Structure 1
Amino acid sequence: MEIQAQLGFCGGNSGDPIFTEDFGSGTTDGPALPAGTTTYNFTTGTPADGDYTISSTTNYYDWLSIQDHTPGDSNGKSFIVNASFTAGEFYQRQVTGLCENTTYEFSSWLINLQRSGSCEGNSIPVNVRFQIWDETDTNMLAQGDTGSITAIGTIEWKQYALVFKTEPGQTSVILKMRNNSNGGCGNDLAIDDILFRSCGDNVTVATPANEARLTVCEDQGGVSRTLTATPDSSVFNSHVYQWQQSTDQQIWTDIPGENSASLNTSAVTATTYFRTKIAEDIVNVNNDLCNVVSDVFEITVLPIPAAPVSNGVVTICEGELGTLSVNTQNLYSINWYDAATGGNLVLSDNRNLETGIAGTYYAEANSTEIECASTTRTAVTLTVNPLPQIPDDLSTFLCEDSSTTLDAEVENVTYRWSTGETTQLIDVTEPGDYDVIITNTNGCSATRNFTVEQIDLPQIDKIVSDGPSIVVSTSNNGNFEYSLDGISFQPSPVFDAVAGGFYTIYVQNNTDCGVVTQDFYHLVIQKFFTPNGDNVNDTFEPDGLEVFNTVTISIFDRYGKLLKFANTNSTSWDGTFQGERLPNDDYWYLITADSVQFKGHFSLKR
C-alpha cells in the first residue's frame, strides 16, 4: 500500500522526470554505490549496524520480506540501510543537468523494515532528513524531515518530497539524506525510486466560450478557435509560453511565433491537439528539463460515417414481428427513418428495428458524440405475407359407434392435423377437440379448430302403462323423439289414449343417429269404475287381454279376501260379491296372462 505523506510536494504541475534512481534489478546484491555516496559499509550479506546493501530481498533478521517499490520490476532492488549507532548522514549524491532559476520537486519512497512488536516493543523508529544543497555544498536550498516512521508490521511504502528552486546560473544540486535517530534495535529502512522533476503551475487551456475540448464533423469544413492558457500561479511568478500542436499526442511540434498566453489556431480539418510549454524564464521554455506543459486542448474531427450495410430484406407472416438490421462500425449509432431523405424518425440508436408493418425503412449511421450522419441512408424492406383465409371454427357431432369427416375446406395448401394426418379431410371416431394447421405457399400458417361432440343412442330404461297412457323413460338424456309406429315421432315420451295391446316403442335422437326399439304390452286398467247402472264405466274390465291365450283374473279386498276369480272368457267384474253390492273402497287385482303377471289396485265409486 502506498501512502503519501507530504513534506512539500509540488503544488502545481510536475514535469517529466529528469533524474531517477531505482537501484536496478537482479538476484545478485550490489553493485556498491559510487565512492563518496555514503560513509556506510557495503555488504552482499546481512547488513549489520552501519552497513548497507543493494538487493532484491529484505529477508534479513526478522525484518519484513518485501519487494522493491518500482512498479513492474522483476527482482527489483532497493537501497537497504541498517542505521549506524550514531545519527548522521548516510547518503549524498550530485544531481546535474538542471536548469537555472527553476523550481523542482525531489521525492523518494521509504519503508520501515521492522515488524510490529520488534525489539520487545522498543524498536527505534526510522526518521530521515532530506536536504538539497547547491553545487558548492555551502548553501542549503531546502530540507525536511519524515518524522518518526514507526514499525507497523505491514508493507506500506511512503513517498516523501521536497520542493526547491535553483538559483541563477545553477545547474546542479547535492542531495543528502541524514539519519536523525541513532542505530541499535530498529531504525532499519529501505529506500527506492529517487526522483527529480520540474515543478510549475497548473495550466488550463480553454476557449472564450469555456470549451475544454471540441468535437466537430468532417462536413463542417475547417474550424478554428482562440485558445487561452491560464496558469494558476501556484509556483511561477512570471510566465513564458511556447505553443505546440500534435496529431497523435506523441510527437509535438512548436508553432513558430506563438509565444503569448493565447493562440488562434489554424483551420483544422483533421483531429489536432494543442498545448503550451510554460517556464518562468525565456531561457528555459524550450528546455523540457526546465518547463512544464499545459492541459491538452483537443479538436476532434469526426469522419462522416459510411452508410450502414443491410443484413437483407425480411419477410414475415401477417401478425408477426420482423427484425430489420444493419451493420456499421462500433463507434456509430443507427437511426431509422421512413424516407430516404428527411422523413420521420422511427427509432434511434439501435441497429435492429422490430416492426410488423410492411414497407421500406431507411437506416442512417451517426456519431454517438455529435450530429455527424452518413450522407445516404440504407434501405431495408419488410414484406408481410397474408395468412391463409380459413373458415370459422366448427362444432359438429359424432354418432355413437360411428365416424364423421372433418374438412379443412381450404385448397392448394398443406395441412397438419393434431392427429398427425396431412390431408384435407380426415375421419374421426372419437369426440373431442381437433385442429389443423393450414400453411399457404408463402409459408404462412393459420389454425382452424373443430369441436366434435358425440351423440349417444337413447337407452330405454323402462316403459309403463299409466291408465290409457304409455310412458317411456330413458337412462340418458338427449334430444329424443318417440313413436309407436316408427314413422310418426313426437318429442314427448308420453302417449295418451292408447288402446291396450302389443306395441313396439321407437326412440331416436333428432340428429338422425339411429333408432332403438323395445316391445311393450300395454294393458289398460281403469283407476276406478262406477257401477251405478248408468251404463258408463259400470264394470272393471282391463283392455288388451285379448292378445293372450290364457288369462286369469283375481280381485281382492284390502284384507286379501278373494272376491272374484275369472278366466279368459270372463275378465270383467261388476262390483258385487255373492250378489251383494260392495261398498266404495280400493280393491286389488292379480292378472296372469300366459306367463306374465300384472298387479295393482283400483277404486270402486258408486
Structure 2
Amino acid sequence: MASGNTGNILETSTPNWLEYGLVFQTLAGQNTVILKMVNNGSGGCGNDLAIDDIEFKTCGDLTTVEDTSNNNSNIVCGLLTPYADTLTAIPDNSVFSTHFYQWQESTNGNTWTDITGETNQTIAISGVVSTMYYRSKVSESIITLNNSQCNTLSDVYQVTVDPIVPPTFIQVPAICSGDTLVALSTTSNESITGTWSPALNNTTTTTYTFTPDTGQCATSQMMTITVNPITASTFTQVSAICNGDTLSALPTTSNEGITGVWNPALDNTTTTTYTFTPDAGQCAASQTMTITVNPITASTFNQVSSICSGDSLLALPTTSNEGITGTWSPALDNTITTTYTFTPDAGQCAGSQMMTITVNPITTPTFTQVSAICNGDALATLPTTSNEGITGTWTPALDNTTTTTYTFTSGIGQCALNQTMTITVNPIGTPTFNQIPAICSGDTLSALPTTSNEGITGMWSPALDNTITTTYIFTPDPQFCPSQVSLTIDVFENPIFSLQNEYFLCFDLNAAIVSPITIDTGLNTTMYNFTWLLNGVIIAGANHGTYIPITGGNYEVIVQNLSTMCSKMVSTLVTVLTEPNFEADVTTDAFTKNQTIEITTISIGDFEYQLDAASWQDEPIFNNVSIGEHIVTVRDKRGCIESSRTVFIIGYPKYFTPNGDGYNETWNIVGPTSPINSLASAEIYIYNRYGKLLKQINPTGEGWNGVYNGVKMSSDDYWFIVEYNEPNSGERKEFKAHFALKR
C-alpha cells in the first residue's frame, strides 16, 4: 500500500524522540492493515533504538476558504453592516479524488454548528452584524462526511465586525475674551483622526464639530468652548499711615467679588503703589492702589545724670526738644538703674524714645586680708584702692608691735561704705617635743604629735619612714612665730640574709640520702641568735647559722641581732626527690621493621629520658630503635641521681661477611641471652633464592658460616624462615625475610 525509509538515524549523547511516518490509502471494504518495520542497520551491543506511540490517523486534503476578493478573512466596520459575501472552499487535491462539503458557523471560533442545506463548495453569507466564523467539513464520500475519523476541516474564515466608536476629547476650559486658544487636537482619545469646523474664535462662545477621516468606523463629535467677557476690579482706598504703623492686609476679593493677589508685599515704612492681579479664570482686569506712608519725627531729650541709690530723682519732661508731647513709663525708681520709654501722643507721626538713668548701688569695699606677722616683722603699706576700685584712706597709722584694727574711709562721690581690717601681731616662742625611742626596721611608727608641749601647732616633714633613721622638721602654723625644730628617730637595721626558695633532698630506692644539703644563713653565732622551725615547730638544738635537713618540709629560721635585738624570719621549702623507678618495654613485636621502646615511670617526679648516649627528651617513647642491646636512662629534671635499664631489640643482621677477617663471620638471629633467652625455642631455616634448604640452625648456636655441604656459597641474597614464641604474648609465630652474603 505504501512504504518509506527514515534514512540514517544518527546517535545522540542523550535519548531523543523523533517522529517518522508515511501516507497510505485503504481499499474499499478494507478494515485492517499490517505495519512492518525493518531495522536496516548492522546492529550492535544492546538495543539500537526504541519504538513507541505508533499511531494511525485520518489524512485528507488541505482546504482553504476565500471570499470573492480572494481574502481568507475580512474586517467590517459596524457602520457597514449587515455584511454579505460568498465564500468558496478550495481543496489542494493532494489526497481526495472526489469532494463533499458541509459548511459550519460559530460565534466564538470554538463551538461549531452545521448550516442546514449548505453542502456545496460555495456558500452565500448575509445579515452579519457581529463577528462570525465559517468553515467546511470535507470528505471523499458523502457517507463519511459527518464521520470525524474520515473527514477533514477547512481553514476558518473570520468576519470581524468592528464596533462603532464615538470619538472623545478633553474638554477645552472656558477662556477670557482675547486669551490664546490652542488648536484643537485632530486625534481623539481613541486615536481617531479627523478635522474640526468652523475656525477657532477667541472672542465669543462657539460650538465646533469633529468629522472623522474615512475608514475609521467612528461617528462625528461636537465641543463648545466658552469665551467669558472681561470685568473691572475696584477696591476702597486705604488711608495714609505713619511710618511703622500697622498696615492691614489688602482685601483679596474686589467689590465685584473678583479674587486675586496684591504685590509687592506691604511696606509700612514708605509710600508704595500696589498692583492687584486677579486669580486665573475670572476674566477680570488688574488694578492699582497707592498707600501713603508719612515719615516719623524723632523725639530727643537731655540725658539725666547718674545718681547713687536713694538720691532724689526729678520728674522727666513730657515735651521733647522738638515740641512732641507724650508720656514716660514706667514710674521713676531711685533705687535701681532703669530704662524709661517716651510714647508720643496719637496723631503726631513721632517715634518713641528711651532714656536709661543709672542708679549706682552702695558698694562695700573689700581688701585682701593681711596675714598675721610676728612681733617686729615688716608691715607693708595698706592699699588705698579696694578690690572694687574704690579709693580712700586708712587710719590709724600702721603698728608692727601689737594687733590693731584699721578703718578705710572712701573718697567723695563713689557710692561706697567704710571698711575695717584687723592685722594680728603674734608674740615669739620655741616649741619642744618628747624624744621618740629607736625602732627596728619595719616596726610600727606612730604619727608624730602636731602640737608641741607649749601648745604650738604645725606640721612635720618628710613623711614617716620605719625603714631608715630619719631627721624630721617641725614647721609651726603661720599664727605662731617660733623657728623650725628637728627630731631624729633611730631605725635599727634587721639582720640581712637570704635562703634559696627551694632545696632538693635526694633519696635512692632504698630510702637512703644520696646527696646531703645544707641550709646556710651566712651569719655566725657571735653576733646573732638562731631559731630553726620545721612546719611551724621549733627544732630542738638547732641554734646555729646552718642546718642540715634529713626530711622534706617548710623550714623557717628566726635570726636576732644580739646588739640591737632586731630580728628577721625567712622560710624555704625542702622537697624530697627519689631515684627514678621505671620499666622499659619493647612495645612492638619481634622482627618489626620500626621497633619502639616505651618507658613507664612508677615513682612521682618531673622526668626526662635518654636512649644510649643520645640527647635527653621529654617524651618517654623511642621509635625506630635498631636491633641489639640498648641502655635507657631516666632522671628528674630538678636533679638527684639517674636510673638506667638494659633493653634488647630482637632482629636479624641484613648481611654477613665470612671472609676470615674475624668480623661478621657467621649469620644468626639477634636476641638477648640473659636473664632468659626468649629465642631458645626458635628454629631457623635458611634457603637459597631457588627455595633449596641450605641450613637449619638455632639462635643459641653459632649460626651459619656460609658453607653448604663443604662448599662456600657465593655472594648473594639468601632467605630464611624463623619459627619463634613472641616475647610480648608467648604466641607461636613465623617470620620470613632475606639477608645478604658478601665475600
TM-score of the two chains, using structure 2 as the length reference: 0.33
Where is the strand percentage greater, Structure 1 or Structure 2?
1
Greater length-normalized contact order (CA 8 Å, ≥ 6 residues apart): 1
Larger-Rg structure: 2
